[in-house]
Amino acid sequence: MRPEILFPLYAPITSLKGVGPRVAPLLDKLAGPIVRDVLFLKPHSVVRRTPATISAAIDGEVMTFQVTIESFQAPRGPQPWRVRVFDETGFMTLVFFGSFGSQLEQRHPVNARRVISGKVEDQGYGWQMVHPDYMLAPEKASEIPELEPVYPATAGLPARTVRRFVQEALQRAPELPEWQDAAWAARERFPTWREALGRLHDPESDADISLQAPHYRRLAYDELLAQQLAMAQRKAERRREAAAKIPASTVAEAIRADLPFAFTGAQTRALGEIRHDFALGERMSRLIQGDVGSGKTVVAMCAMADVAAAGGQTALMAPTEILARQHFETISGPLTAHGIAVVLLTGRDKGAARAEKLRALASGAIQVAVGTHALFQDEVAFHRLELAVIDEQHRFGVAERQRLQAKGQGTHFLAMSATPIPRTLELTVYGDLDVSKIDEKPPGRTPVATRAAPMGRIGEVEARLREAVAGGAQAFWICPLVSESELVDLKAAETRAEELKATIGPSVGLIHGKMAPAAKDAVMADFADGRLSVLVATTVVEVGVNVPNATIMVIEQAERFGLAQLHQLRGRVGRGRRESACVLLYDPPLSETAQKRLDILRRTDDGFLIAETDLELRGGGDALGLRQSGFPDYVFADPFAHRDLIAAAGDDARLIVGRDPALTSERGKALRILEELFDWKAGLGLRDAG
């Protein structure tokens, strides 16, 4: 039930003055459907309306002048109205397009004093101002803000009209009960929620424009707390759901002992954490995070063996068929060797063969199903699904993940991710999961020698590649998607593939996003089986794809990629014992930041460190990479500027849920209003593990 106090904010935007059938869709597009969304529109910049005399005008600046009307010049033909004005230092012409000239003369008669504000320009005919933003009698001059926030605009809806709507939304905003902890709010000098919004929309000084201004930090913290609280509650709710108790099994230990390698310390720890969850009789929701090749899948495999030994079934779902098949190949040998039946189920399974697989899953004859989206389809039923393992979970929708888990009761949930997230942002993405980190590589991997080279040296790179291929090596060659048009990019990749064919020979293949999945798989299989020696790819080679013999990775226009992505791409090589190399080709000149970013890759192989440094170097500016890794689309909170607040909000949320899980205390009630205000429950979508 939505608290009554929020009703004015949940009114449709059409309840705002001036928002009719024409404007509503535009404003909806900019802000959203309700008054709250308009209130939460964030100014993207602030103009300063510096008061000045005409002689002190600066071309192109927004300024405010106190003038007297001298004369009107009616247009001849399709020309604008011109109004000549002056102050004690000079003259200026105001220019008005449109046919309201006579009104103009009535409203601003000759000799009247006016305060005008707008952009002044000198295009060689003296100072002029086209359509002043303000033109008011001196006694009304206080209506002109010295600092005026500028809002996003869209065709047909100028920024200043948007500002008017925002101001009205602000009028409607009620004082809300305080949900912040009093001591914390005092320490942070937080104004009340309403005051904070007031400052956002009517800044009083330069200091008010900073992301670190107390009022802005408050809004960011409110948003973070709302989200963290929703996540902490989800997590607590899931914990309260009963789930099968699954003991550690001897069969899992036997499988582990049979592996041709010993677990790393981090793998042992991760398995231990899963088993701890399994023993509780509560639903597990855990994420195993670790670089590609760090050994996540084999850890999950041992957990599956425990589940099977206790009579349960596991579904392992991967976002692509290639990945599903690789997982199947990794785990089916060790599991079947110990009597645990594994099946691969993808979109390719048809007819009788598919029916047979489905029957075996429904009857419980098969304990582990590995697959793609095919797994959560309605026809797929399990006898006793107790564990859902989802690889790269952010590539699936919540509904999809839930559909899979709903095939069992109190299904334990285990996610695997190779997407490195800066430590400071982890809470925002995985706040509702327990995280096991595999931050240790299996021994014997040789670090990938990483070099950056300007595009001008591509000839040398190709020559070396030819030699390496002649010696039996395999290589990835990545052409990024950079232009607006995928077709243009595709052409570039085709050209590159042709060129490499000419220098290297017929064993050069091409894979790209426009290919049908089956065709992609076929090319990928040719590469994996060594029939192709060089694989040119436009799309990012699927995360997790394992081709141990590939030892060379060439990335064109490396400066265009996010660091985390480069790191993941590089992770595709260096998986065997042979020396591997990664060449980052760039278009010179590199900016200093770009240079630094490529340098980090040369210096370290630690995905977490790389992600953290990337965030620092970008200053949180480029959110794209972050969003790709599941970072929420916050209104106020900035991933970099407010990283201290992220941690604080996480702690705060945990404490609240620990002390007052049903939010019944005074503060708890206020917090419920906060949650409604930000809608994180509804919006939890992307981040929710299910």
> What's the helix, strand, coil split of the chain in %, to 5?
45, 20, 35
Taking the complex as a whole, how short is the minimal distance between the CB of residue 261 and ligand ADP, in angstroms?
3
Binding window for Mg ion (CB under 5 A); candidates: 501-509, 526-534, 536-544, 642-650: 536-544
Taking the complex as a whole, how short is the minimal distance between the CB of residue 330 and ligand ADP, in angstroms?
5
Nearer to ligand ADP, 267 or 367 (CB): 267
Taking the complex as a whole, how short is the minimal distance between the CB of residue 544 and Mg ion, in angstroms?
4
Binding window for Mg ion (CB under 5 A); candidates: 291-299, 347-355, 400-408, 431-439: 291-299
Nearer to ligand ADP, 118 or 295 (CB): 295
Which one of ligand ADP, Mg ion, none interacts with residue 450, CB within 5 to 8 A by kind?
A: none
Contacts of 2 (CB under 8 A, 6+ apart): 10, 676
Evaluate whether 481 touches 489 at the Cβ level (below 8 Å).
yes
Nearer to ligand ADP, 225 or 438 (CB): 438
Taking the complex as a whole, how short is the minimal distance between the CB of residue 424 and ligand ADP, in angstroms?
23
The span from the CA of 121 to the CA of 635, in Å, is 35
Nearer to ligand ADP, 333 or 454 (CB): 333
Nearer to Mg ion, 334 or 544 (CB): 544
Taking the complex as a whole, how short is the minimal distance between the CB of residue 318 and Mg ion, in angstroms?
8
Taking the complex as a whole, how short is the minimal distance between the CB of residue 442 and ligand ADP, in angstroms?
3
Nearer to ligand ADP, 410 or 442 (CB): 442
Nearer to ligand ADP, 39 or 302 (CB): 302
The stretches of 179-264 forming alpha helices (DSSP H) are 182-187, 193-201, 214-240, 250-258
* Beta strands at 580-586 and 448-454: parallel, antiparallel or unpaired: parallel
Evaluate whether 115 touches 146 at the Cβ level (below 8 Å).
no
Taking the complex as a whole, how short is the minimal distance between the CB of residue 259 and ligand ADP, in angstroms?
7
The span from the CA of 127 to the CA of 168, in Å, is 34
The span from the CA of 687 to the CA of 664, in Å, is 26
Taking the complex as a whole, how short is the minimal distance between the CB of residue 346 and Mg ion, in angstroms?
17
Binding window for Mg ion (CB under 5 A); candidates: 182-190, 292-300, 310-318, 359-367: 292-300
Contacts of 353 (CB under 8 A, 6+ apart): none
Which one of Mg ion, ligand ADP, none interacts with residue 442, CB within 5 to 8 A by kind?
A: ligand ADP
- State the residues that interact with ligand ADP by CB under 6 A: 261, 263-264, 267, 290, 292-298, 330, 442, 544
Taking the complex as a whole, how short is the minimal distance between the CB of residue 578 and ligand ADP, in angstroms?
15
The span from the CA of 416 to the CA of 396, in Å, is 12
Which one of ligand ADP, Mg ion, none interacts with residue 420, CB within 5 to 8 A by kind?
A: none
Nearer to ligand ADP, 264 or 580 (CB): 264
Binding window for Mg ion (CB under 5 A); candidates: 527-535, 541-549, 609-617, 682-690: 541-549
The span from the CA of 548 to the CA of 376, in Å, is 31
Return the structure tokens found at 440: 């240790």
Which one of Mg ion, ligand ADP, none interacts with residue 261, CB within 5 to 8 A by kind?
A: ligand ADP
Residues 296-355 that bind Mg ion (CB under 5 A): 297
- Taking CB under 5 A as the criterion, the residue among 43, 203, 334, 544 binding Mg ion is 544
The span from the CA of 272 to the CA of 319, in Å, is 26
Contacts of 329 (CB under 8 A, 6+ apart): none
Taking the complex as a whole, how short is the minimal distance between the CB of residue 21 and ligand ADP, in angstroms?
54
Evaluate whether 540 touches 587 at the Cβ level (below 8 Å).
no
Q: How far is CA 132 from CA 242, 359, 497, in A?
A: 66, 75, 57
The span from the CA of 390 to the CA of 544, in Å, is 13
Return the structure tokens found at 478: 């990545």
Query: Largest alpha-carbon pair distance within the chain?
Result: 98
Size of interface with Mg ion, in residues (CB under 5 A) = 2
Nearer to Mg ion, 93 or 549 (CB): 549
Which one of Mg ion, ligand ADP, none interacts with residue 580, CB within 5 to 8 A by kind?
A: none
Phi then psi for residue 668, to 5 deg, are: -55, -40
- Residue of closest CB approach to Mg ion: 544
Nearer to ligand ADP, 389 or 481 (CB): 389
Contacts of 1 (CB under 8 A, 6+ apart): none
Taking the complex as a whole, how short is the minimal distance between the CB of residue 441 and ligand ADP, in angstroms?
8
Taking the complex as a whole, how short is the minimal distance between the CB of residue 573 and Mg ion, in angstroms?
15
Taking the complex as a whole, how short is the minimal distance between the CB of residue 540 and ligand ADP, in angstroms?
15
Three-class SS state of 316 = strand
Which one of ligand ADP, Mg ion, none interacts with residue 496, CB within 5 to 8 A by kind?
A: none
Q: Is 662 exposed, middle or buried (0-12, 13-18, 19+ CB in 10 A)?
A: exposed
Beta strands in 271-380 (DSSP E): 285-290, 313-317, 342-345, 368-371
Interaction between residue 290 and Mg ion (CB under 5 A):
no
Element (H, E) at 94: strand 90-96
CA atoms within 13 A on the CB side of 475: 28
Nearer to ligand ADP, 370 or 510 (CB): 370
The span from the CA of 102 to the CA of 90, in Å, is 25
Taking the complex as a whole, how short is the minimal distance between the CB of residue 399 and ligand ADP, in angstroms?
25
Nearer to ligand ADP, 579 or 660 (CB): 579
Which one of ligand ADP, Mg ion, none interacts with residue 344, CB within 5 to 8 A by kind?
A: none
Cis peptide before 589, with omega less than 30 degrees from 0?
Answer: yes
Cα Rg of the chain (Å, integer): 31
Which one of ligand ADP, Mg ion, none interacts with residue 263, CB within 5 to 8 A by kind?
A: ligand ADP
Which one of ligand ADP, Mg ion, none interacts with residue 551, CB within 5 to 8 A by kind?
A: none
Nearer to ligand ADP, 65 or 263 (CB): 263
CA atoms within 13 A on the CB side of 225: 27
Return the structure tokens found at 575: 């998986």
Nearer to Mg ion, 255 or 300 (CB): 300
Given the rule CB under 5 A, which residues bind Mg ion? Answer: 297, 544
